[in-house]
Amino acid sequence: MPSQKSFRTKQKLAKAQKQNRPIPQWIRLRTGNTIRYDLLAAYTQALVSLSES
């Protein structure tokens, strides 16, 4: 990824960085531990890693 990013790209990466966090424990308790990972975060992480290479 170039060091000179457009503002739009920078916004997208910042949002992806904010979303990249584990699921809160209270959600795991509420759902009976059926959700083990955040699908959106996993998708976002894959997207970011693709854009970096």
Single pTM value for the model? 0.44
* Residue 1 falls inside a structural domain: no
Per-residue b or e along 11-35, where b marks 16 or more CB atoms closer than 10 Å to that residue's CB? ebbeebeeeeeeeeeeeeeeeeeee
Structurally, the chain folds into a number of domains equal to 1
**Residue 35: domain span:** 7-52
User: Is the pLDDT confidence value at 15 over 70?
Assistant: yes
* Residue 45 falls inside a structural domain: yes
Q: At 9, which amino acid appears?
A: T
| pLDDT tens track for 18-50 | 888 888 888 888 888 777 666 777 777 777 777
